[in-house]
Every structure is written in C-alpha cells, then in structure tokens.
A and B are shown apart, each in its own frame.
Chain A
Amino acid sequence: MTGIKAAFDLQLHEFRLNVDLQLPAQGLTAVFGDSGCGKTTLLRCIAGLERRACGHLCVNGELWQSAQTWLPTHKRSLGYVFQEASLFPHLSVLGNVRYGMQRLINPQPARLEQAIELLGIEALLERKPARLSGGERQRVSIARALALNPKLLLMDEPLAALDLTRKREILPYLQRLQRELDIPVIYVTHAPDEVAQLADYLVVMRQGRVLTQGPLSQVLTQLGLPFQLGEDTSALLHAKVGLIDEHWHLARVDFNGGSLWTRDPNLPIGSAVRVRVLARDVSLARELPSQTSIQNLLRGRVDSLGADSHPGLVLVRVQVGEQMLIARLTKRAAASLGITVGDDIWVQVKSVALLA
C-alpha cells in the first residue's frame, strides 16, 4: 500500500481539526490555507507532536498511528522543517546537520554529504547558527532533515519568516528538492506563488477541514467557483522549453497537447517549466482567426462550463491534448458563439507566465 493515508480529529479549545487525506507516495503536496485553518496543526499531528489527536496515519505501508498504536515522534521516520529558526545554538552547522543522523540505527553518511551539497552549505559547516543569515539557517534546517534519510519530509512554511530576497535565495533549492527527492514532501504554506512553483498535489484547507484536494492542475481547473491561486483563476501546464527563437527573443514551450510561444526566459532547451495561463488571457473562436496579434492558437474541445464570481461572466474549461485551460468569457459572448460541451474550438492565448 503506497501513499499517505492520514485522518485526524483533534479538538483544541475552540478549534477543531477534522481531516481525511489520501496523499501520493511521491512528489510535493502543498497544504494551502489562511492562517488559523489548521494546516500547521495537521503537520504536527502527522509528526506525532499532538499527543491528543485521534486518528489513523499510514505512510507508504508503515502504520504510525491508529486506535491501538501511537508511534512517538522520535521513532517516526520523518524530517521536519520548522517555520522559524530551529537550529541548536550550542552546535555548529555540521553538529546540527549530524545531530539526527547520529541517532539513526543505520546512518548513511552519503545522505549527509548529499544533503550538504543539495542545499549548498559546504562553506558554512564550521559556523555557529548565530553567525548565519535567516536564509542560510533555513537551508541548514532543511539539510538537517534530509540527512536523516526520512521516509517523509514535512515543511511548515519554511519561507514565511524570510524577506523577499531570502525567499528568492531559497526557492531554487526547494525546486531542486521537489525534482530530485524520491520521498513524499508535505509543504504547508499560505503563499499562492509557492504553491504554483512547487506543488504537484494540492490540499486546500479552511477552518480545520479539507476544502478540496487533488493534483495541482486538476484542482486549479475544477469549475464551479474554482480554486484561485492568487488574484485570478488560472490553469497550470507542465511544459518543457522546446525551441528558442533568438531573432524575436521568444521561446517555445511544449506541453502534452500543444505548444505556446512566450518571451525567452533564458533557460536551456529541455528545461522543465511551469506555465501559468490566466483565464482572462484566454479567448475562444469558432473559426481559425486569420489576422490577429495573438500568436498562440491551440485546438481544443469544450469540456465544461462553470459559474464565475460575476453573474455576467462564465468560465469555460477547454481540453487541449491532455491539459485543461480555462477561458473567461462574458455570458453574452458564450451565447453568441453557441458554446456547448463537446464542441471543437480554437483557443487563443494572449499571454502566459513562466514559473521557473
């Protein structure tokens, strides 16, 4: 049995956490929600730091909690990155990174080396935590968790305590982590851009409950007041840089079902990128438009229609290859085009945003 099955019920004063999750065995799951929605409490339950939580927790076949069993935190094979600085001040960086590894029954020094290299902290090893910047401290914390060679990595808003510059400094390491790590990561955040850049799977929480969960691109394109990342409804495509047009400073990104042109992001050909397409930048046409400034034309099929936040607007989900895009139209435009589910249609994309 692979994947993570986590169900918890916990009453803390006025607040009640009541969740039932089925998370993938690999990749990064973002747990998204406003502060106070219980996402950190959920993480603490998974780590075994909330002794009073009732429930069931099974991680890739290992039972950590049930009605009969409760594995104490120090016996769970997990790594935990706390929101604020959590390095032991009396130990050097190396001492911190080795602290957990030394306590393993079967320590793997290769993992330690790998963690140090992955987070780029080779030059910091002899320093005391007090002599590190906030971003460096957080990188050391992540390396310390990875050196444990855990079966599950938990991260509680690792960027929240950092300023924008520091965030930009750490994000590339997290993206590398997300691509190279073969263990599941549960990443708690309230920042939409972190979700867009890092998540494979998304859990949205509100007031102690799960609002929705699923693969990121699927959750984003669920119609009927879809979940928004940031200011507007959007779809997310997983693509690769396929071609660079140096003359026009453009790059073509290819996804499963088509390709789009965008400004040259200065990435080598073959780089994996996430492409965000806002619903307001997508329009639909019956006939192939002959003369238009819009360069990106895709052929798709209308999958479904859903309500938008304004009664005059409608969201149309269009399947392009294996990916979904969302177009925002006025209801009048949709009616005059006679859009119905199953129609083949031209999709015009005015602009896209590349997320690394």
Chain B
Amino acid sequence: MGLSDGDIQALWLSLQLASTVTLLLLLIGTPIAWWLARSCSRWTLPLAAVVALPLVLPPSVLGFYALLAMGPNGPLGQLTVTLGLAPLAFSFAGLVLASVFYSLPFMVQPLQNAFESIGERPLEIAATLRASPLDAFFSVVVPLTWPGFITASILTFAHTLGEFGVVLMIGGNIPGVTRVASVQIYDHVEALEYADAHRLALVMLLFCFSVLLAVYAFKPEPNRLGGEHDGD
C-alpha cells in the first residue's frame, strides 16, 4: 500500500486510543448501563439524557467544553496542577478522557438494552440459589448478555477510531501524541496530497466496513431462560 511512517504512526495511535477508550468504557459504562436498566430513581432520565448527549451534540461543542475544563483555569486543569501532573490539554491522556465521554452512548446503550432484555427473573433465580447480587452479575448476567458486550465494545472501538472534531479541538495535531489517522487524512488533504489521503482513507474505509460487517453477521444463539422451545 505504501503508507508513510507518519501514516502508520497515526494509524497506530488511533488503534491505541480506541483500545484504551474501549477498555475504560467497559469499566465505566457497565455500571452506568446496569443502573439505567434497573433503577427506578428519578435521576435515571437526566442521566440517560447526559449519556446520549454526544449522539447529537456537535463534536466541536463537546471539544470546546473539554478544552475549557482541561485548560489552566478549568476544574480538570487545576486538578492536574494540584496533583502535580502534566496538563491534559493537547496530550494523549486528555484525548482519552474526552473520547471516553464522546463514545459513552455507544457503550452504554447496547449494554442497557441487553440488561433490560433479560429482565428481573434471572437475578431472582440466582438469589434463590444463594448468589449475592455481584456474584449473580458475573455468573448469570454477563454470560446471558455477552453478545451485548461484544456489540457495545465493537461500536465503541469503531466510533472512537472515527472521531475527528473532538480530537482537533482538544488534542490538536501533534505527531505521535495526538495526531490520529482521521486528523492525518485531513492534513494530507490540506496539503493537497490526495494520493496519500486516498491510501489512508481506503484503509480506514475497509477497516470500518469489516467491523460493521462483523457486527451485523454476528448472530449469537438466543440465550433465553430454559431455551427457545417449550415442550416438544
């Protein structure tokens, strides 16, 4: 294909960012999705709306607020100063943080649907079999909803891979630090290097197409309680 070193570096950075964000979101998104699926609290609706915000908000708006928060006068910026850490803006860590919020609905919503679809009954059964709620989550809920986990992870990964606006706002364009593949393509186009842009864009296109194909082709056997047919 003849990708340049800069292209490969940008692709590699994109993969690193997407993997890190997916892993972090599995940890953060799972409890949020569980709470949204189970709780009857009056706070579920506002939380659900906040989680869904990145779906409709222009990335530049999100990136702008993230930039303000991470800047020297923002709450996150001051926190990093107090803790003696490097500033978040224009760093890989800052990119991860913003992306976690940006990709949140892609993790939370499929998981929430999966949790809601199994209903209350499996948990009740597990409780009558001496399983504590946490035990029941790992021994029953996760095995029953793993297709939801796979879908959520793939969507999160692919979505993070494709983000552009947020990266540009808070990450800028620092090679090896924040210059991910989508930004690299933009650079190529700006510099009128259409051939380079084509190559990288094609890689991204093929990759995203295969991911989506995998998601749609992925049909797990139904995991309903007691199996799919009743009687004979």
Residues of A at under 8 Å CB distance from B?
Answer: 47-49, 72-75, 78-80, 82, 84-90, 99-100, 103-104, 128-134, 137, 144-145, 148, 161-163, 166
Nearest B residue to A87, CB-CB: B226
Chain B proximity of A334: nearest CB distance (Å) = 50
Q: Does B193 contact A (CB under 8 A)?
A: no
Interface pair A86/B225, CB less than 8 Å apart: yes
Chain B residues touching A, range: 20 to 34
Nearest B residue to A84, CB-CB: B226
Chain B proximity of A213: nearest CB distance (Å) = 24
Q: Contact string, B206-232, partner A, CB cutoff 8 A, digits 1/0?
A: 000000000000000001111111111
Interface pair A133/B232, CB less than 8 Å apart: yes
Q: Contact string, B127-141, partner A, CB cutoff 8 A, digits 1/0?
A: 111111101100110
Nearest A residue to B120, CB-CB: A49
Query: Which residues of the partner chain B approach A80 to less than 8 Å between Cβ atoms?
Result: 125, 128
Residues of B at under 8 Å CB distance from A?
Answer: 121-122, 124-133, 135-136, 139-140, 143-144, 223-232
Interface pair A86/B131, CB less than 8 Å apart: no
Nearest B residue to A166, CB-CB: B231
Query: Which residues of the partner chain A approach B139 to less than 8 Å between Cβ atoms?
Result: 99
Interface pair A86/B226, CB less than 8 Å apart: yes
Interface pair B231/A86, CB less than 8 Å apart: no
Interface pair A73/B127, CB less than 8 Å apart: yes
What are the 6 closest A-B residue pairs judged by CB atoms, nearest first?
A85-B226, A130-B227, A100-B129, A80-B128, A73-B127, A103-B130
How many angstroms from the CA of A79 to the CA of B158 in the assembled complex? 46
Interface pair B143/A103, CB less than 8 Å apart: no
Contact of A128 among B126, B132, B227 (CB under 8 A): B227
Contact of B227 among A85, A100, A104 (CB under 8 A): A85
Nearest A residue to B231, CB-CB: A134
Interface pair B223/A90, CB less than 8 Å apart: yes
Query: Which residues of the partner chain B approach A144 to less than 8 Å between Cβ atoms?
Result: 129
Nearest A residue to B228, CB-CB: A130
Known: A74-B130, A100-B130. A88 touches B227 (CB 8 A): no
Chain A proximity of B104: nearest CB distance (Å) = 28
How many angstroms from the CA of A86 to the CA of B124 in the assembled complex? 10
Contact of A104 among B121, B126, B130, B231 (CB under 8 A): B130
How many angstroms from the CA of A72 to the CA of B127 in the assembled complex? 8
Interface pair A148/B129, CB less than 8 Å apart: yes
Chain B proximity of A261: nearest CB distance (Å) = 40
Contact of A85 among B124, B130, B144, B225 (CB under 8 A): B225
Chain B proximity of A188: nearest CB distance (Å) = 14
Known: A100-B130, A148-B129. A49 touches B229 (CB 8 A): no
